[in-house]
Amino acid sequence: MADPFLNAENMTGGYGSGADILHGCNISVDKGQIAVIVGPNGAGKSTAMKAVFGMLNIHTGSVMLDGQDITALTPQARVAKGMGFVPQVNNIFTTMTVEENLEMGAFLRRDDFSDTIEQVYTLFPILKEKRRQHAGELSGGQRQQVAVGRALMTQPSLLMLDEPTAGVSPIVMDELFDRIIEVARTGISILMVEQNARQALEIADKGYVLVQGRNAYTDTGQALLANPEVRRTFLGG
Ligand SMILES: Nc1ncnc2c1ncn2[C@@H]1O[C@H](COP(=O)(O)OP(=O)(O)OP(=O)(O)O)[C@@H](O)[C@H]1O
Ligand SMILES: [Mg+2]
């Protein structure tokens, strides 16, 4: 079997000189697949994402992307290697227009990125309509589209999303999940944290239940949904 496209192994670390938040956490994603991290509030889901993206100093473990050891790289260098990250909070520039947000997303590119902007508009047509509006005037779901679109501007091979459906209606959530599946079908690997655990595991090739900075359960999305213990403890029965 080929190595996973993203392979983060045995990550241990926390913030500054504080106590460790992650305790030997493992996360991997295969090419073009969707991996979902679920778990209770404060479990360390966002911390694990930050560790994979290089925003946290881990003192054990490694992060491999496409067979390359990127453990020592800065977040910006990881973007250059093909990572795109949409953080849980403050993921757009509210006082800039939609199109300016997308242009900001392309900050590392030296080539013509107008085709990529068009691709984002094809994926999220409402953003084209609203391209001259300030992103802060948009609805919650539309802002999340801006955030995802911004991350797509560097043409990542791995797209990381921390709670992309936070605060949106069920209909908007379904719509966003459909777009995320569409992105995965183009060969981009997806690593996503989700509070809507049940719905997210439905579309997950692989699911991780994280508890107190450790992997509690790892399986296919379907197997986790069918696991009585996971259902009882994490999915509300
Ligand atoms: N910047 C930070 N500095 C210090 N501690 C932090 C920081 N961010 C998070 N923590 C702590 O790390 C632990 C894990 O937080 P984290 O945000 O990773 O959880 P989470 O699983 O993403 O939770 P949620 O579901 O609420 O988003 C918590 O105890 C939290 O208080
Ligand atoms: Mg979080």
The CATH number assigned to the domain holding 8 equals 3.40.50.300
Q: Binning pLDDT at 50, 70 and 90, where does residue 2 land?
A: confident
- Tell whether ligand 1 has an atom less than 6 A from the beta carbon of residue 15: yes
Per the domain annotation, does 77 fall within a domain?
A: yes
Q: Would you say residue 136 has pLDDT above 80?
A: yes
Per the CB < 8 A criterion, the answer to whether 32 and 185 are in contact is: yes
Section 41-60 average pLDDT = 96
Indicate the number of domains in the chain. 1
What percentage of residues in the chain have a pLDDT greater than 70? 100
Per the domain annotation, does 132 fall within a domain?
A: no
Instruction: State the pLDDT at residue 137.
Output: 97
Instruction: State the pLDDT at residue 167.
Output: 87
Instruction: State the pLDDT at residue 107.
Output: 87
Section 153-174 average pLDDT = 96
Per the domain annotation, does 2 fall within a domain?
A: yes
What is the residue-averaged pLDDT of the chain?
96
Q: Would you say residue 237 has pLDDT above 80?
A: no
Q: Which domain covers residue 229, as residue numbers?
A: 1-82+190-237
List the structure tokens of 208: 């991780």
Instruction: State the pLDDT at residue 109.
Output: 87
What would the DSSP string read from start to end of 44-92? SHHHHHHHHHT-S-EEEEEEEETTEE-TT--HHHHHHTTEEEE-SSS-S
Residue nearest to atom 7 of ligand 1 (CA): 15
Residue nearest to atom 6 of ligand 1 (CA): 15
**CA–centroid distance, residue 1 to ligand 2 (Å):** 32
Q: Binning pLDDT at 50, 70 and 90, where does residue 108 land?
A: confident
- Tell whether ligand 1 has an atom less than 6 A from the beta carbon of residue 50: no
List the structure tokens of 49: 């994402």
| Continuous segment of H or E residues that includes residue 179 | helix 170-185
83 vs 105: CA distance, rounded Å = 12
Per the domain annotation, does 15 fall within a domain?
A: yes
DSSP H helical ranges for 71-169: 75-80, 98-105, 114-123, 125-129, 140-152
Per the CB < 8 A criterion, the answer to whether 117 and 102 are in contact is: yes
Instruction: State the pLDDT at residue 73.
Output: 98
Q: Would you say residue 1 has pLDDT above 80?
A: no
What percentage of residues in the chain have a pLDDT greater than 90? 94
Give the CA distances from residue 219 to residues 51, 103, 163, 204, in Å, rounded to whole numbers and listed in that order.
21, 38, 20, 10
Q: Binning pLDDT at 50, 70 and 90, where does residue 34 land?
A: very high
Per the domain annotation, does 144 fall within a domain?
A: no
Q: List, as ranges, residues with CB under 5 A of the ion ligand 2.
A: 45-46, 88
Per the domain annotation, does 157 fall within a domain?
A: no
Q: How many helices (H) and strands (E) does the chain have?
A: 10, 10
Per the domain annotation, does 75 fall within a domain?
A: yes
List the structure tokens of 112: 């013509």
**CA–centroid distance, residue 49 to ligand 1 (Å):** 11
221 vs 216: CA distance, rounded Å = 14
Report how far Cα 117 is from the mean position of its chain's Cα atoms.
20
Per the domain annotation, does 171 fall within a domain?
A: no
